[in-house]
């Protein structure tokens, strides 16, 4: 790849995205594209790479007709093989944009950029947070923190650098000024030691254009990210949140999710209004070698015309699809089987990152 890219701020001044009128749009707002990284790491997906590749094919087949796909591959050989596979799967390769980035793993939501827009001037920019592999848990994966710099070099859009560790899966926004996150993740000393809650909130406001933070407590069992929000609660419109909820009081997730649900019932949005909170069932216990996997239906991706929901072969799969279809009447809600993908400790939302359209 030659020399390592450098990150350039938009201005030599200290103005933040918020100062300049940028904001992070809600996921249901129009997309130009979705970003993904093709799976290849045998450590993440032990003996499951072919099955996970099939999951990727299904995701791209479902999305590419309504938004372009930017796809990271490690080298030219992988690019040729993946292009052949997609073509055989009736994917229109004109909608696929390959990038040779030599990524280590697939969790693009967490190490990729967060895109922000300035609607009044139809401008797109990106925020490059620090990725420290979820608090330094996986040294080999920290290399992926360079991916936003590579994207910046190609897209040539303004890039802002807050100097703070943050993963995209740890935040969710309603596009009107409210952000959801968890104390377990953002206040964890393994992310930004020495940062107070107030300092973290100020960075979120300055770089994502939000003005109100709703803090939930913690995430589900088996989640190695220290409580990412995209496994427990998601905005589905500016005033409505779906909240993962476990009905079995004997399940370890019951007290965790019950407290989060109660916090959401008491929460307000950016204008002081109560949120509508809808329970989203859980898919039961999935395990790998006696280790619980972080399986959750909340890890869905909202595309331009399609909502892709992780399915696990559980009786609650159909119920969840019905709940979400009622909430997204203008989109097709589809289940994608994710038993193999979740062995890597993530699902559909974790591997995707939307690039908003600027109109």
CB 297 within 8 A of CB 282: yes
Rounded alpha-carbon distances, angstroms, from residue 115 to 106, 169, 292? 18, 13, 32
Q: For 86, left (φ over 0), alpha (ψ -120 to 50), or beta?
A: alpha
- CB-CB neighbours of 230 under 10 Å: 28
Burial class of 135 by CB neighbour count within 10 A (0 to 12, 13 to 18, 19+): middle
- Location of structure tokens 């979705």: 34
Decide: 280 and 297 in contact? Cβ < 8 Å.
yes
350 is catalytic: yes
Cβ 117 vs Cβ 25: under 8 Å: yes
Burial class (CB in 10 A: 0-12, 13-18, 19+), 289: exposed
- Interaxial angle between packed helices 76-88 and 49-63, expressed in degrees from 0 to 180 and rounded to the nearest 10: 60
* Angstrom distance (rounded) from CA 26 to CA 60: 21
- Tell me if residue 179 falls in helix, strand or coil: strand
Selected catalytic residue, list 159, 243, 338, 350: 350
Active site residues: 350
């Amino acid at each position: 790849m030659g020399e390592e890219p450098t990150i350039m701020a938009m201005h030599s001044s200290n103005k933040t995205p918020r100062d300049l009128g940028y904001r992070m749009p809600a996921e249901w707002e129009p997309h130009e594209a979705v970003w993904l990284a093709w799976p290849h790491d045998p450590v993440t997906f032990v003996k499951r790479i072919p099955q996970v590749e099939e999951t990727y094919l299904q995701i791209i087949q479902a999305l590419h007709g309504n938004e372009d796909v930017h796809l990271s591959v490690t080298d030219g050989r992988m690019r040729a093989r993946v292009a052949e596979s997609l073509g055989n799967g009736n994917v229109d390769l004109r909608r696929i944009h390959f990038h040779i980035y030599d990524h280590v793993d697939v969790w693009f939501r967490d190490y990729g950029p967060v895109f922000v827009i300035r609607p009044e001037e139809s401008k797109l920019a990106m925020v490059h947070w620090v990725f420290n592999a979820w608090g330094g848990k996986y040294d080999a994966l920290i290399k992926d923190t360079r991916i936003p710099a590579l994207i910046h070099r190609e897209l040539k859009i303004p890039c802002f650098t807050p100097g703070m560790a943050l993963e995209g899966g740890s935040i969710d926004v309603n596009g009107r000024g409210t952000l959801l996150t968890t104390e377990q993740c953002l206040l964890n000393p393994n992310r930004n030691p020495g940062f107070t809650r107030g300092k973290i909130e100020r960075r979120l406001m300055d770089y994502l254009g939000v003005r109100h933070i709703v803090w939930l407590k913690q995430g589900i069992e088996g989640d190695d990210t220290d409580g990412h929000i995209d496994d427990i609660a998601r905005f589905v419109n500016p005033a409505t949140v779906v909240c993962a909820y476990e009905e079995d009081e004997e399940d370890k997730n019951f007290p965790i999710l019950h407290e989060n649900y109660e916090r959401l019932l008491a929460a307000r949005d950016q204008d002081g209004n109560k949120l509508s909170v809808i329970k989203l069932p859980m898919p039961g216990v999935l395990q790998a070698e006696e280790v619980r996997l972080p399986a959750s239906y909340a890890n869905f991706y909202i595309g331009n015309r399609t909502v892709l929901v992780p399915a696990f072969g559980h009786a609650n799969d159909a119920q969840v699809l019905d709940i979400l279809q009622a909430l997204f009447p203008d989109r097709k809600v589809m289940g994608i089987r994710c038993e193999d993908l979740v062995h890597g400790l993530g699902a559909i939302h974790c591997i995707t990152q939307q690039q908003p359209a600027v109109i």
